[in-house]
Chains A and B, each alone.
Chain A
Amino acid sequence: MLTIKLAFRNLFRNTRRTVLTAMLISLSLAALISVDGVMRGMLTLLVDNVTGTIGGDAQIHRVGYRENLDVDLFMENAAEIERTLQRDTSLKSYSPRVISGAMISSSYNVAAGLLYGIDAERERSTSKVAQAVLRGEYLAGGDNELLIGHSLAELLEVDLGDRIVLTLSEATTGELAQALFRISGILNFGMRELDDNFVFINISAARKTLAMTDQQTHEFVLTFLNLEDAENPEHGIFQQFNNTETEALSWLDLNKEISFIIEIMAYSSLMIGAVLFLLASLGVINSIFMSIYERIYEFGVIKAIGTRPSEIVRLILWEALLLALISCVIGMLLGFAVGSWTATNGLGGLGEVEFSGITLGNNILGEFHISQFTTFPFFTVLLTLAAALYPARFAAKIVPSEALQRSL
């Protein structure tokens, strides 16, 4: 107890130096908490864009379908799959889709694109098609309704109510088929790929155009109550639907590029933390060395009266621990304050950030995570103690007879 008391009082012998060192550590921790919060916010936004826009948390297809999006590689037993999905309590929603490449023609232009036949009502809870409607109306179940991305509409020089002709191959026969639709809504997803290429019609109309029965489906898109289930390959859905006939893939499998970016973002937090704490550690080493040099004579005296070298190490480590704990409290408070601000106001004014073809809006909201207030402070304390070890060993090796001859 007396050692802790001594360490605590030693810490405040030179208040200015202690405050500066504590600020160095606490600002590093606060910066790390804030950067991590923004990174997490960015990640959430990115994942939300990837999974929430149209891709879902997971998808089920017939084996081989995703390689070329072959229109004839559909699943035959839609009702049976639906029954299985309905029984799974971990799912939030699911929706069937019919998908085909199509020639999209207007009176003025023509473009190659992708046709999505969707269940309008179910799709409301699995994707953001309904929310992406910029002008006009969402699908209401009519046979000739069509939603089109705004940049594709610009390319085709069409607007609401204009006619669009889709030319495609029938799924079963491969015969060419054409169907006429009227634009009921213009979409803006904020994702270049979707806005440039995609059109959406009701699934019944799509099946009719592609000459498919109501049991035939190209894709089931799934959303989970807990996103972590979608990232767990051991989950029942993946176990059940990964077989010789069908394949179930998580959003990480479906977006390899994005999952790579997410890994890089996680490492970037680690790298920022490492650089911040390397600098802070050098500051701590310098500060502790200065305090030891000022007390060389005193260390000589306490060693002379019988303090063991290990007890000197313990004293310096106690000083470092107390410094780290005080710094962590300040750092967490600062980090919480900055994090709260970014969580409420976001990082506005950065403009739209396009990330791998996905526009991340102009307001990234920071996020708190328990690790910011447990793991980060834990490592801050650990690194401060590690930084203190070198000067502590130096102090332990002070030779009393030499230290006592130092002028004061």
Chain B
Amino acid sequence: MTAVISTFEVCRYFGDDQETMVKAVDRVSIEIERGEFTAIVGPSGSGKTTLLHLLGGLDNPTSGSVELSGTNIADMSGATLSDFRRDHIGFIFQSYNLIPVFSAEENIEYIMLLQGVDASERKRRVADMLQQIGLEGLGNRRPNKLSGGQQQRVAIARAMVSHPQIILADEPTANLDSKNGIALLDLMKELNQQSKMTFVFSTHDEKIMSRASRLIHMHDGEIELDELR
């Protein structure tokens, strides 16, 4: 299998002074294959979010490379990087993921608008995604009329609707109760198995990490353990 995304000796340091410098991510090299359902786990401050930001091109590494399907995104910037993220990477964040003045449908549709997908195709894909995430009939509701779990489902739909190569989720269940958190992970897993889309998510919740097929353990910015399950 070929790696969808890989890093080589990637580092992200904050601060210039050697004594006070924080090594959020330190010489991390990983390869993630297509269709994987990977969890980056570790305690708070271990560098999970920073690594996800580097994988998604949201932050530039201090050194090292991040390649998505052979393209080094560490060298990109501005509109090129925005376009690349739009077309190749889907994101799910902890909370407040959605544009509050848009309905669920419009939130899902927005990324396709950026991609220039025509209106009829947008409508078709939105309806399809709402069905897949089990929110048919709730498409016209704004985020404040949806529960936290429903909002995260919409965020998953928005991340998937543009057919990215990889979906990065930064503690997607952090603001959900355990029941809803597990249900969300089960949905992500189901979509991963159906669509063979690659999911990488961070968590420190043991119940959630048990759903992952691969666990990358981080501690103080370094990979402590990389285990397939």
List chain A positions with a Cβ less than 8 A from chain B: 2-3, 5-6, 9-10, 13, 297-298, 301-311, 399-401, 404, 408
Determine if A306 and B96 form an interchain contact, defined as CB atoms under 8 angstroms apart: no
Per-residue CB contact flags for chain B residues 91-128 toward chain A (1 = under 8 Å, else 0) read 10101110111100010011101110000000000000
> Which of B83, B91, B96, B101 is most buried by chain A, counting CB atoms within 10 A of its CB?
B101
Closest chain-B Cβ to A304's Cβ sits at a distance in Å of 5
Residues of A within 8 A of B100 (CB): 13, 298
In the complex, 13 of the A-B residue pairs with CB atoms within 8 angstroms, ordered by the A residue number, are A2-B110, A9-B101, A13-B101, A304-B85, A305-B85, A305-B90, A305-B91, A305-B110, A308-B114, A310-B79, A400-B53, A400-B58, A401-B59
B102: nearest residue on chain A (CB-CB)?
Answer: A6
Determine if B106 and A2 form an interchain contact, defined as CB atoms under 8 angstroms apart: yes
Quick check: is B82 within 8 A (CB to CB) of the other chain? Answer: yes
- Report how many residues on chain B are interfacial, defined by Cβ distance under 8 Å: 33
Quick check: is B214 within 8 A (CB to CB) of the other chain? Answer: no
- For window 153-176 of B, CB contacts with A under 8 Å fall at 158-159, 162, 170
> Which of A302, A305, A307, A404 is most buried by chain B, counting CB atoms within 10 A of its CB?
A305
Determine if B83 and A308 form an interchain contact, defined as CB atoms under 8 angstroms apart: yes
List chain B positions with a Cβ less than 8 A from chain A: 50, 53, 56, 58-59, 78-79, 82-83, 85-87, 90-91, 93, 95-97, 99-102, 106, 109-111, 113-115, 158-159, 162, 170
Nearest 3 pairs of A and B residues by beta carbon: A306-B86, A9-B101, A401-B59
B110: nearest residue on chain A (CB-CB)?
Answer: A2
Task: Determine the distance from Cα of A6 to Cα of B111 in the docked complex, in whole angstroms.
Answer: 13
Task: Determine the distance from Cα of A408 to Cα of B113 in the docked complex, in whole angstroms.
Answer: 27
Determine if B99 and A302 form an interchain contact, defined as CB atoms under 8 angstroms apart: yes
CB-contact partner of A297 in B96, B110, B158, under 8 A = B96
Determine if B79 and A308 form an interchain contact, defined as CB atoms under 8 angstroms apart: yes
Residues of A within 8 A of B99 (CB): 6, 298, 301-302
Determine if A404 and B78 form an interchain contact, defined as CB atoms under 8 angstroms apart: no
Closest chain-A Cβ to B189's Cβ sits at a distance in Å of 22
Determine if A306 and B93 form an interchain contact, defined as CB atoms under 8 angstroms apart: no
Task: Determine the distance from Cα of A298 to Cα of B107 in the docked complex, in whole angstroms.
Answer: 12
Q: A308-B82, A309-B82 are in contact. Are A6 and B96 (CB under 8 A)?
A: no
Task: Determine the distance from Cα of A301 to Cα of B158 in the docked complex, in whole angstroms.
Answer: 12
Determine if B96 and A301 form an interchain contact, defined as CB atoms under 8 angstroms apart: yes
Residues of A within 8 A of B91 (CB): 301, 304-305
A304: nearest residue on chain B (CB-CB)?
Answer: B91
Residues of B within 8 A of A305 (CB): 85-86, 90-91, 110-111, 114, 158-159
Determine if B101 and A408 form an interchain contact, defined as CB atoms under 8 angstroms apart: no
Determine if B111 and A309 form an interchain contact, defined as CB atoms under 8 angstroms apart: no
Residues of B within 8 A of A301 (CB): 91, 93, 96-97, 99
Determine if B86 and A9 form an interchain contact, defined as CB atoms under 8 angstroms apart: no
> Which of A3, A297, A309, A400 is most buried by chain B, counting CB atoms within 10 A of its CB?
A400
Task: Determine the distance from Cα of A13 to Cα of B144 in the docked complex, in whole angstroms.
Answer: 13
Task: Determine the distance from Cα of A9 to Cα of B144 in the docked complex, in whole angstroms.
Answer: 14
CB-contact partner of B114 in A306, A400, A408, under 8 A = A306
A400: nearest residue on chain B (CB-CB)?
Answer: B58
Q: A297-B96, A298-B96, A301-B97 are in contact. Are A2 and B82 (CB under 8 A)?
A: no
> Which of A6, A304, A310 is most buried by chain B, counting CB atoms within 10 A of its CB?
A304
Task: Determine the distance from Cα of A399 to Cα of B82 in the docked complex, in whole angstroms.
Answer: 11
Task: Determine the distance from Cα of A9 to Cα of B142 in the docked complex, in whole angstroms.
Answer: 12
Task: Determine the distance from Cα of A83 to Cα of B162 in the docked complex, in whole angstroms.
Answer: 84
CB-contact partner of A307 in B82, B87, B159, under 8 A = B82
Closest chain-A Cβ to B161's Cβ sits at a distance in Å of 11
Residues of B within 8 A of A404 (CB): 53, 58, 93, 170
Closest chain-B Cβ to A370's Cβ sits at a distance in Å of 37
Residues of B within 8 A of A309 (CB): 78-79, 82
Residues of B within 8 A of A6 (CB): 99, 101-102, 110
Residues of A within 8 A of B159 (CB): 305
Closest chain-B Cβ to A269's Cβ sits at a distance in Å of 40
B101: nearest residue on chain A (CB-CB)?
Answer: A9
Closest chain-B Cβ to A297's Cβ sits at a distance in Å of 6
